[in-house]
Amino acid sequence: MPLSVEDPLTTNEINTIGALNLLEAVRANRVKRLVFSSTCALYGDEPTLPKQETMPLFPLSPYAVSKLAAEGYCLNYMAHYGLETVILRYFNVYGPRQQPSSAYAGVISLFIDHLLAEKPVTIYGDGEQARDFVYVTDVARANLLAGQSRSAIGHILNIGAGLPTTINALYQTVSGLLEVNLPPQYGPPRAGDVRLSYADTRLAQHHLGWQADVSLANGLAQTISTML
């Protein structure tokens, strides 16, 4: 998301225009259903917790704004062209093969990569910002269910573990699993970052029969095992 603050035009080109191009291709080829990957970043710092799909949206970054526009296009294509759409708002997805060298790397892959090399880790802000970390196999299962469920058509669904974890607590867990005793460094908060976020997943349970199965401890252990 910080990159979207630096370059909002490219962000819009990829996320909004890219989604519109995809929807046009889907319409032209008579595809029956589209499952769209959206983001919990749309909720911003609206103080209500957990985050519910029907709450007001306060996107804090160009990335979040671009995803909100793409959601709108998905719903429009359903209304005007009959395309079945299901919108999944992912929370913080993590797991194997998430590249720490990428500009979009997740905090978990960065922590693991740095601690394995015994390099200092920078936490932005005070580290008490909380996120909802959901393992990639749970997310993949949600997508498969969204492609099959009749009940899910036309709905926006949160996909998360439903539990908040602070960045400080995450760091302590990862460093403990790796048995590396290296204190983190702290930097200034990043523009566009949300303070607190975790999912209310009751709609996903209702429409998909889905809930996250992989605990954070087990997901971290599996992720670490692929990076050793």
Active-site residue numbers?
A: 63
Which has the closest alpha carbon to 104: 205, 172, 170, 15?
A: 15
∠ CA 189-191-196, rounded to 5°: 65
Asked whether the beta carbons of 219 and 95 are under 8 A apart, the reply is yes
What's the Rg (C-alpha) of the chain? 18
d(CA 211, CA 203) in angstroms, rounded, equals 10
Return the amino acid letter for 49: L
For 196, half-sphere exposure in the C-beta direction (CA atoms, 13 angstrom radius) is 9
